[in-house]
Amino acid sequence: MIASLSLILLCQLAGEALVRGIGVPVPGPVIGLMLLLLLLLLRDRFAVLARGPLRGESGESGGVESTSRGLLAHLSLLFVPAGVGVVQKLDLIVDHGAAFLGVLAISVLVTLVVTVATFIVASRLMTREEERP
């Protein structure tokens, strides 16, 4: 588990270093995500990599897969400290009141509907395209 956690941190660290080095407007952990994905894909291709935290599901538990699942099982918990910060800043919301909350709520609903509708329509058009002889 320690080795797996180190691998995850290493990917994040490399991501942060890349982001700072090149100055791209992407969060470091997102680059870290891509690096870890790349490693997992490379492991399937080159057996040499399939050791330690990358040894795969067939090995004992504690590989990077089970450690990641453990981290993600309680993703909600990780937002609590930032959320408490918001409760402390309620005066900022009170200043602008209902308009602030209303605008956010409507925008969230509109975004959800537009995104899901676009996804469904695009996905149906694609399958229809494939079914055509």
Q: How far is the CB of 98 from another protein (least distance, A)?
A: 9
Q: Determine the 3-state secondary structure of 107 from DSSP.
A: helix
Q: Which is nearer to another protein, 17 or 110 (CB)?
A: 110
Q: Are 32 and 15 in contact (CB under 8 A)?
A: yes
Of 2, 22, 74, 128, the one binding another protein (CB under 8 A) is 74
- Within 75-104, the residues that bind another protein by CB under 8 A are 75-89, 92-93, 96, 99-104
Q: Tell me, what amino acid is at 128?
A: R
The contact mask relative to another protein for 21-60 (x = CB under 8 A, - = no) is: ----xxxxxx-xxxxxx--xx-------------------
Instruction: Return the closest-CA partner of residue 8 out of 48, 61, 52.
Output: 52
Q: How far is the CB of 86 from another protein (least distance, A)?
A: 4
Of 1, 17, 42, 105, the one binding another protein (CB under 8 A) is 105
Angle at 29 between CA 23 and CA 35, to 5 degrees: 90
